[in-house]
């Protein structure tokens, strides 16, 4: 409200900005496009206004709208499927070994997906004398390779599906996708949207006050580049990338939250999925003194 010289009051034609809008204006001018918005978020991260995990997730949300099913699907040759024409005893070890919750069921050929088998439904195999796999199958959902991930995620949620079979333009099976695969694009390692040099962006310094200087490192960073940036001397004879180095050290796929030291370098896994590690937080430790070593 404002006072008029006559004593009357009238509404201010300019609406009051919210606290969030005023704080945003203090950080930087209003972005004109997505690239500028992401640039602002990156600068906010550098000023410790948001942490690396939050930045990665925000980047992932933007990236999902630009990706399609073909970009992240599990390719046809890597699909774990069961053949309902074969005795259960032949493919049950695969179910136990992979520990997936769902399996595409095929009728003799990978292009003939006839349904989805939930691993939990196999409990009836041990409880019932008469067990028929075909009766246990759930309907399969088929999607084109070009389907956008943001649309697919909305469909997954609306229809309560967890798996989709990706088909090519000729109707053949090209791969599969799960809702977990899509969500991993948000909480996993997403390529930056803005125009940075790709190799320089593999290793980002993180100055965390009392904890000292650390680096946010993409797992696909080549060991040679890592050695040059951090002054380390890791060998690249057996593996080419930092992700391969830490997987070899642990003897398994690294999991989020793992913390371990290799040659006075501390690694913390920030992002990983069931198949590979994506992002690491790296810190150089002090060299042990000669007195301590003796």
Q: How far apart are CA 7 and CA 204, in angstroms?
A: 60
Check: CB of residue 139 under 8 Å from CB of residue 116. yes
Euclidean distance between CA atoms 82 and 94, whole angstroms:
8
Separation of alpha carbons 78 and 66, rounded Å = 24
Examine residue 80 and state whether it is found in any structural domain, yes or no.
yes
Cα separation, 159 vs 91, in Å, equals: 29
Cα-based angle 275, 278, 282 (whole degrees, multiple of 5) = 135
279 alpha carbon, distance to own chain's centre: 10
Q: Cβ distance 138 to 132 under 8 Å?
A: no
Of 33, 41, 34, 72, nearest to 150 (Cα)?
72
Helix (H, G, I), strand (E, B) or coil at 136: helix
Q: State yes or no: pLDDT of 195 exceeds 50.
A: no
**Which letter does DSSP use for residue 81 in this model?**
-
What token pair was written down for 241?
């990338």
Q: Is 219 helix (H, G, I), strand (E, B) or coil?
A: coil
Based on the domain organization, do 124 and 211 belong to the same domain? no
Measure Cα distances from 37 to 16, 24, 30, 196 in Å.
Answer: 23, 11, 8, 14
Q: Does 137 map to a domain?
A: yes
Asked whether residue 176 falls in the same domain as residue 215, the answer is no
Q: What is the mean pLDDT of the chain?
A: 80
Residue 99 φ/ψ, nearest 5 degrees: 60, 30
Q: What is the CATH number of the domain that holds 233?
A: 3.30.465.10
- The domain boundary residue, chosen from 161, 187, 213: 187
Q: Kindly state whether residues 55 and 118 are assigned to the same domain.
A: no
- Decide: pTM greater than 0.85: no
Q: What is the pLDDT of residue 290?
A: 47
CATH code for the domain in which residue 143 is found: 3.10.580.10
* 80 shares a domain with 64: no
Share above pLDDT 90 across residues of the chain, in percent, rounded to a whole number: 31
Burial of 19 (0-12, 13-18, 19+ CB in 10 A): exposed
For residue range 81-94, what is the model confidence (pLDDT) as tens digits? 999 999 998 998 88
What is the arrangement of strands in the sheet containing 173-178, beginning at the earlier edge strand?
A: 74-75, 173-178, 163-167, 142-144
User: Are residues 183 and 111 part of one domain?
Assistant: yes
End position of a domain, from candidates 165, 187, 209 = 187
| 103 within domain boundaries | yes
Of 184, 188, 242, 179, residue with least CA distance to 56: 188
- Note the pLDDT of residue 231: 92
Q: How many domains in the chain?
A: 3
264 within a domain of the structure (yes/no): yes
pLDDT digits (tens, 9 = 90+) for 119-158: 888 888 887 777 788 889 999 999 999 999 989 999 998 9
Q: Are residues 208 and 166 in the same domain?
A: no
Q: Is residue 294's pLDDT more than 60? A: no
Look at residue 192 and tell me whether its pLDDT is greater than 50: no
Query: Which structural domain, as residue segments, surrounds residue 26?
Result: 19-68
Whether the predicted pLDDT of 236 surpasses 50 = yes
How far is Cα 270 from Cα 216, in angstroms, rounded to an integer?
9
pLDDT at position 102 over 60: yes
Structure tokens at 201: 């962006």
Asked whether residue 14 is domain-assigned, the answer is no
What distance in Å separates the CA atoms of residue 212 and residue 282, rounded to the nearest whole number?
A: 11
Question: How many C-beta atoms lie closer than 10 Å to residue 35's C-beta?
Answer: 13
């Amino acid at each position: 409200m404002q006072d008029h010289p006559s004593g009357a009051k009238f509404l201010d034609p300019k609406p009051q900005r919210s606290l969030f809008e005023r704080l945003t204006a203090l950080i930087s001018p209003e972005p004109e496009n997505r690239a500028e918005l992401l640039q602002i978020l990156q600068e906010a991260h550098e000023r410790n206004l948001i942490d690396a995990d939050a930045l990665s997730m925000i980047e992932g949300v933007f990236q999902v709208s630009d990706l399609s099913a073909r970009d992240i699907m599990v390719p046809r040759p890597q699909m774990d499927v069961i053949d309902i024409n074969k005795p259960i005893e032949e493919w049950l070890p695969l179910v136990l070994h992979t520990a997936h919750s769902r399996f595409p069921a095929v009728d003799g050929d990978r292009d003939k997906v006839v349904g989805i088998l939930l691993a939990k439904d196999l409990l009836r195999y041990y409880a019932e004398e008469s067990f028929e796999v075909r009766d246990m199958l759930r309907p399969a959902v088929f999607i084109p390779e070009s389907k956008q991930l943001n649309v697919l995620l909305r469909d997954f949620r609306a229809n309560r599906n967890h798996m989709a079979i990706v088909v090519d333009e000729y109707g053949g099976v090209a791969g599969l996708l799960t809702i977990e695969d899509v969500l991993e694009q948000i909480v996993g390692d997403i390529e930056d949207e803005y125009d940075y040099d790709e190799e320089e962006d593999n290793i980002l310094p993180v100055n965390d006050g009392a904890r000292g200087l650390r680096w946010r490192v993409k797992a696909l960073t080549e060991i040679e580049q890592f050695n040059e940036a951090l002054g380390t001397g890791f060998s690249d004879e057996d593996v080419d990338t930092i992700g391969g180095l830490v997987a070899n050290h642990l003897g398994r796929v690294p999991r989020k939250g793992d913390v371990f030291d290799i040659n006075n370098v501390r690694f913390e896994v920030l992002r990983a999925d069931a198949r590979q590690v994506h992002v690491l937080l790296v810190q150089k430790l002090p060299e042990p003194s000669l007195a301590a070593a003796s």
